[in-house]
């Protein structure tokens, strides 16, 4: 029989790896987990909204009902703003940095998050998720600033996501491997279900929105054609799997192996809330993440909502894509 471990026990054990750790980090993640449990509960009720008598934005009590992505944003801000461990937050759903409320204790960590990634999938019952990225404060003032948020992904103290799917799963890393926990709704606890996740060096899946083919650069076009036409090079055909919900596409490829692409020229996905945290997770699992020319974790953020091309997944697949991209760029220059 496998051991039963809660996520809190696991995080405490990880924190003990750092001499002089205060327990703040464990407390921070614990607050975030509470927020995710509340979001998970609401996500699970989403399909019942109309049946239970809610119309448009008003429920049976005449109260205004928030959209789920707004609800997720609000819940995380409420749970984390008063946790005492953060100096500033930033979210995909907020234009500017989110200060810690007046009167609340300040801490030494910075939280960046996408409260409900893939939220256009709510109505069709597909998996969606919350992505998070945690940095240490680098400025000296009591409150954190934009500078604290605009750090390279390689400096993240921790990163991960919650996926609200057939079950709710949390995946996180603090730089010592990647671990997954499944929420047992009857206990209200995340239990260790995926210890030390490693992603296959090469996969059999590619995930891309092929409807955008007319906007792709030549390298991406050639690479996708190659996966379809020259699959004999890999000894197996590649299958296309695309949900259109990054957390869900990423999670599947992490476990099974494969490559997810949202290519340039500008990309759609955000560096701070989507690309960097998932890049830390995938690298810790043995995979890779690039823009086509640069490691995602080395990209210096210049603004809060900066977008990047994101090529992420199995190590050899990402390396092969990078080669196609570089070769196509070089031949266009000739």
Q: Which of 98, 43, 47 is nearest to 247 (CA)?
A: 43
Report the residue from 69, 93, 117, 148 that binds Mg ion according to the rule CB under 5 A.
117
Two tokens at 199? 């992603």
**Residues 180, 12: Cα–Cα separation, whole Å:** 15
Residue of 10, 31, 43, 117 that binds ligand AHM (CB under 6 A): 117
Burial class of 124 by CB neighbour count within 10 A (0 to 12, 13 to 18, 19+): exposed
Rounded Cα distance, 334 and 328, in Å? 10
Of residues 63-92, those binding ligand AHM (CB under 6 A): 92
Instruction: Determine the interface stretch with Mg ion among 67-75, 80-88, 111-119, 306-314 (rule: CB under 5 A).
Output: 111-119
Give the number of residues in contact with ligand AHM, rule: CB under 6 A.
11
Is residue 249 part of the contact set for Mg ion (CB under 5 A)? no
Among left, alpha and beta (phi > 0; psi -120 to 50; other), residue 130 is beta
b/e per residue 81-113 (b: at least 16 CB within 10 A): bebebbbbbbbbbeeebbbbeeeeebbbbbbbb
Considering only 49-57, 110-118, 296-304, 314-322, which stretch makes contact with ligand AHM by CB under 6 A? 110-118
Selection from ligand AHM, Mg ion, none that 217 binds (CB < 5 to 8 A by kind) is: none
Residues numbered 190-229 forming contacts with ligand AHM, rule: CB under 6 A = 209
Q: Which CB atom, from 139 or from 209, has the smaller least distance to ligand AHM?
A: 209
Among 107, 118, 258, 267, binds ligand AHM (CB under 6 A): 118
Q: How far is it, in rounded angstroms, from Cα 8 to Cα 166? A: 22
Query: How far, in Å, CA of 285 to CA of 279, rounded?
Result: 10
Structure tokens that stand for 117 in this block: 């990634």
For residue 243, the minimal CB distance to ligand AHM (Å) is 8
Instruction: Choose the stretch contacting ligand AHM; rule: CB under 6 A; options: 15-23, 113-121, 279-287, 301-309.
Output: 113-121
Residue of the chain from 114, 148, 189, 283 that contacts Mg ion (CB under 5 A): 114
Nearer to Mg ion, 205 or 278 (CB): 278
Whether the CB-CB separation of 267 and 217 falls below 8 Å is answered with no
Is beta strand 128-136 parallel, antiparallel or unpaired with respect to 288-290? unpaired
**Residue 93 interacting with Mg ion (CB under 5 A):** no
Contact residues toward Mg ion (CB under 5 A) are 114, 117
Contact residues toward ligand AHM (CB under 6 A) are 92, 114, 117-120, 209, 244-246, 268
């Amino acid at each position: 029989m496998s051991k039963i471990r809660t996520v809190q026990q696991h995080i405490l054990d990880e924190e003990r790896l750092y001499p002089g750790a205060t327990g703040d980090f464990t407390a921070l993640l614990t607050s975030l987990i509470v927020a995710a449990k509340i979001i998970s509960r609401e996500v699970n009720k989403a399909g019942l909204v109309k049946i239970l008598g809610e119309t448009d934005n008003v429920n049976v009590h005449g109260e205004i009902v928030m959209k789920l992505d707004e609800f997720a944003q609000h819940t995380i801000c409420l749970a984390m703003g008063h946790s005492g461990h953060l100096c500033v937050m930033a979210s995909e759903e907020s234009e500017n940095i989110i200060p810690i409320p007046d009167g609340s204790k300040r801490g030494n960590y910075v939280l960046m998050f996408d409260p409900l990634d893939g939220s256009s999938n709510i109505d069709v019952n597909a998996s969606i998720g919350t992505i998070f990225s945690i940095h240490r404060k680098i400025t000296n003032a009591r409150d954190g600033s934009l500078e604290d948020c605009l750090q390279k992904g390689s400096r993240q103290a921790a990163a991960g996501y919650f996926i609200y799917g057939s079950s709710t799963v949390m995946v996180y890393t603090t730089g010592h491997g990647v671990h997954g926990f499944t929420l047992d709704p009857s206990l209200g606890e995340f239990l260790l279900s995926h210890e030390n996740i490693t992603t296959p060096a090469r996969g059999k899946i590619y995930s891309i929105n092929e409807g955008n083919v007319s906007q792709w650069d030549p390298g991406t076009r050639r690479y996708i054609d190659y996966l379809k036409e020259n699959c004999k090079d890999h000894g197996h055909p590649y299958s296309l799997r695309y949900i259109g919900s990054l957390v869900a596409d990423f999670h599947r490829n992490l476990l099974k192996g494969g490559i997810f692409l949202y290519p340039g020229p500008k990309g759609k996905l955000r560096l701070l809330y989507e690309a960097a945290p998932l890049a830390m997770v995938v690298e810790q699992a043995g995979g890779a993440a690039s823009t086509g020319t640069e490691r995602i974790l080395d990209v210096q953020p210049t603004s809060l909502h900066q977008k990047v091309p994101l090529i992420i997944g199995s190590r050899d697949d990402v390396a092969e894509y990078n080669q196609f991209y570089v070769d196509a760029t070089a031949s266009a220059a000739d």
